[in-house]
Amino acid sequence: MATWLDIPAEENLKKFPTKFTSPCNLASKCYTSDMNKALLIVDAQIDFCPGGGYPVPDGDKVIESLNKLIAHANKNRWKIFASRDWHKKELFKDKPEKTHCIQNTKGAEYHPDLKISKNIPIISKGSNELGEKHYSAFNGDSISLNKLLKKNNINEVYIGGLALDYCVKGTAIDSSRLGYTTYVIKEATKPVKTSSEDVYGDLRKKGIKVVSLDEVVN
């Protein structure tokens, strides 16, 4: 009797369907390996942490979780990208109270405890812009994050950073809109003024998965 190996490929599915049944129900899930995943760290900068120019309450508490995500990403060979607010000083001429992340200042540096490699791509944003457009890491000044993700065959994006209700939200919405399966990790982000639960609700409505750190790192 013929075995499935003796039969041309196109006949196999008809005659021996069970041999080819995918082990998981979601076909798309099966084609996502760790090679297709990226960690995106949004604006984990000194100015967004307590003591900085435009602090997020408990903003520094996200660093430990971000470091766990970085370690997980490195171990599993995910790609890692980071964004940063990178404003020109003159943008704040009329609103000095909002001054944050001015290019080449201490406040624009990443939090000193963030264990981020110097070799990863950094997406600077907001050089000439303070409006809503600068919230998203997909609106980089000179780097297209979308092109970078496509070039690296990424289809799943895991996001953490500051602040949840501005740049993390803007980035996650763009990521999902552009077709990436998008996760926001609760412990790795904090809001400035909206309640976390309200933002999670908005994100979920857009198809973004809001998950706990231990659902990602194990």
Closer by beta carbon to Zn ion, 155 or else 189: 189
The least CB distance from residue 158 to Zn ion, in Å, is 22
Region near Zn ion per CB under 5 A, out of 16-24, 32-40, 79-87, 209-217: 79-87
Under a CB-based contact definition with an 8 Å cutoff, are residues 125 and 137 in contact? yes
Phi then psi dihedrals of residue 130, to 5 deg:
-115, -5
Site string (107-136) toward Zn ion, x via CB under 5 A: -------------------x----------
Q: b/e string for 127-144 if b means 16 or more Cβ within 10 A?
A: eebeeeebbbbbbbeebe
Catalytic, 101? Answer no
Token pair 């760290």 in the structure block, residue: 41
* CB of 182 closer than 8 Å to CB of 146: no
The answer to whether residue 47 forms part of the interface with Zn ion (CB under 5 A) is no
Check 43, 60, 85, 174 and give the catalytic one. 43
**107 vs 216, beta carbon nearer Zn ion:** 107
Tokens 């995106």 sit at which residue?
Answer: 40
| Number of residues in contact with Zn ion under rule CB under 5 A | 2
Nearer to Zn ion, 86 or 180 (CB): 86
Smallest distance, Å, CB 91 to Zn ion?
9
Task: Determine if 165 is a binding residue for Zn ion (CB under 5 A).
Answer: no
Contact 64, 104 (CB under 8 A): no
**Does residue 85 touch Zn ion according to CB under 5 A?**
yes
Q: Please confirm, yes or no, whether 58 is among the known catalytic residues.
A: no
Structure tokens, 119: 């070799």
**Catalytic annotation on 43?**
yes
> Is residue 169 a contact partner of residue 179, using CB atoms and an 8 Å limit?
no
Residue number with the shortest CB distance to Zn ion? 85
> Residue 85 or 187: which CB sits closer to Zn ion?
85
Question: Shortest CA distance to 110 belongs to which of 188, 42, 45?
Answer: 45
Region class of 207: left (phi > 0), else alpha (psi between -120 and 50), else beta: left
Rounded to a whole number of angstroms, the minimum distance from the CB of residue 85 to Zn ion is 4
Residues designated as active site:
43, 125, 167
In the complex, the residues that contact Zn ion under the rule CB under 5 A are 85, 126
